[in-house]
Amino acid sequence: MKRLSLSQAFWFLLRRDLLLAMRNRAELANPLLFFVMVITLFPLAVGADPNLLSRIAAGIIWVAALLASMLSLDSIFRSDFEDGTLEQLLLSAHPLPVLVLAKVSAHWLVSGLPLLLIAPLLAMMLGLDSDAYGVLLLTILLGTPVLSLIGSIGVALTIGLPKGGIILSLLVLPLYVPVLIFAASAIEVVSSGLPATAQLSMMLAFLFLALSLSPVATAAALKMSMS
């Protein structure tokens, strides 16, 4: 049998994970439903004052996005660990960081992309300034892949632990805070009529840094956890 090229292996693994996610639609919907529920419950808790909701809309949306991302992190490698596929990936002739990137990309497509699509509707419900919609989408587009990439390292480190969920949260949450701060700040700055170039530049730097380092770190963590 002809061996797959690296690009073919990447797309094959990406397609496989997307198909598996579509077969488990209940798990696929969990992060999105959580995201929607958290945001819709906030007005009930803090009141329906339009001015207050408009001021805190950026923080609400990004806290909900961060928690929704954490909710789905375990799905990146858990099923592969349980059915033995992860061991096959470790034995593959292809570079493990590239295969890890394929799996993280699939995770973002099923967990991060839906948040990007539904965010404008929820922002409208919270009364976010219409001028900030574009920046909101841009921060989610730049920030949620960083959450998935960083989270993959934590999942790889805790994959062999029977109850690694709490440890996973403790590992990745501090690393998520800078993304949360700069994303919410960018939206608030634009809502105030000022440019958010500095904040968006930092988020772009986070994304490039995570793309460069996270797959390598995740691959090393998987080898350590499976050894």
Count up the domains in the chain and report the number: 1
Q: Please name which of 135, 162, 152 lies closest in space to residue 222, comparing C-alpha atoms.
A: 152
What domain range is 84 assigned to? Answer: 6-226
C-alpha to C-alpha distance for 208 and 189, rounded to whole angstroms: 23
- Residue 222 counted as domain residue: yes
Instruction: Report helix, strand or coil for 33.
Output: helix
Percent above pLDDT 70 for the chain: 96
CB 32 within 8 A of CB 118: yes
Angstrom distances, CA of residue 218 to CA of 110, 154, 190, 193: 20, 8, 35, 40
Query: 65 and 140 in contact (C-beta within 8 Å)?
Result: yes
Can you spell out the DSSP letters for 38-50?
HHHHHHHHH---H
Residue listed under structure tokens 């587009």: 141
- C-alpha span between 37 and 64 (Å, rounded): 9
d(CA 227, CA 225) in angstroms, rounded, equals 6
Q: Is residue 96 part of a domain?
A: yes
How much is the pTM? 0.90
Contacts of 202 (CB under 8 A, 6+ apart): 178, 182
Q: Which residue has the higher pLDDT, 198 or 161?
A: 198
| Band (204; pLDDT cuts 50, 70, 90) | very high
Would 194 be classed as within a structural domain? yes
> Would you say residue 16 lies in a domain?
yes
On whether residue 58 sits in a domain, the answer given is: yes
Phi, psi of 220 (to 5 degrees): -65, -40
Compute the average pLDDT of residues 156-181. Answer: 83
Residue 49 lies in a domain: yes
* 126 part of a folded domain: yes
- The verdict on residue 1 lying in a domain is no
Residue 170 scores a pLDDT above 50: yes
